[in-house]
Amino acid sequence: MEELRRDIILNDFMKWLRENTAMKQNSINQYVLQVKKFLDTYEEIELENLKKYLLSRKGDRIVYNRRFAIKKFLMFLKKEDWIKEIDKLRTYLRPQERRYERYIDFQTFKDMIEHFNDELKLIMMILYDTGMRISPIINLKIKMIKKDKDGTYIIGKEKRGKIAKRYLDPITANLLESFIKDKNQNDYVFRKIVKGRWETWWECYYRLWKELKIESRRFLGEYGISFHWVRTSGAKELYKRYKDLVMLKEFLAHNSIQTTTRYVESGELRSSEIIRNEKGKWR
């Protein structure tokens, strides 16, 4: 595609994403990058070319975020009929044989984190206790850790600016208190100071992600575990005990109950009940 025309399209697409979605700039950049790769590969924006691009592989895997980027691009182009055709590719975009199951049972998880360093072990326990994503944990500051009559809790900002209040198991809270004893109120809990400045979110995430991959592979084998596995595994364990999909949706701060259903794969949770019943599990 002609370079000038491509750049105009990409600039307009980026502007449209900013004005019509709640996406953060990092996500916008990723979507624009996927569309740029498509425009660099194919001469014309045609449905068949889009299908080929979506089904193309990188190494031995399909790039899954392409579909979401392309769907937004088609919304930008007002190609609703094409979106319906793209959605029909879902079956082919899923791996026929999953490389791994996004679930680890609690006892295996508990045994595994005993081999982690103190920082990584604490992060995994907080993720399991709270059901939060890794993003608010990396952004956690000392002043966002608080106590009330029910115990120690943390305040985190989830997707779309939602503020989540999540309690910690007493054992997790004690480990956290020891971990932060020499820090100030405005300090980050897990970000480190590098060359006189705090790590950026991405620097911290990448450092922790590498540690998690290395350590979990030693215990679980080739694929190890991801931070999101902790969230999905914890959700399934909670659903087994409470059988209440609505409460689980609230606990995980999902917008749609369909998303929660995908986590637990079926079924029909009050956060206060989870807080009360889950205390003591790390003993």
Mean pLDDT along residues 121-149: 94
**Is pTM, for the whole model, over 0.75?**
no
Mean pLDDT along residues 181-200: 94
Q: Residue 275's pLDDT band (boundaries 50, 70, 90)? A: low
Position 110 scores a pLDDT of 93
With contact defined as beta carbons under 8 Å apart, do 228 and 128 qualify?
no
| Distant-in-sequence, close-in-space partners of 39: CB < 8 Å, separation ≥ 6 | 1, 6, 9, 10, 45
Mean pLDDT along residues 35-58: 86
Mean pLDDT along residues 190-196: 93
pLDDT, tens digit, 9 for 90 and up, residues 68-86: 899 999 999 999 889 888 8
What percent of the chain has a predicted confidence (pLDDT) above 70?
87
pLDDT, tens digit, 9 for 90 and up, residues 208-229: 999 999 999 888 877 788 898 8
CA distances to 36, 104, 247, 259 from 128, rounded to whole Å, are 37, 11, 16, 18
Position 55 scores a pLDDT of 81
Position 265 scores a pLDDT of 62
Alpha-carbon distance of 144 to 188, in angstroms, equals 10
Task: Reply yes or no on domain 106-278 having CATH 1.10.443.10.
Answer: yes
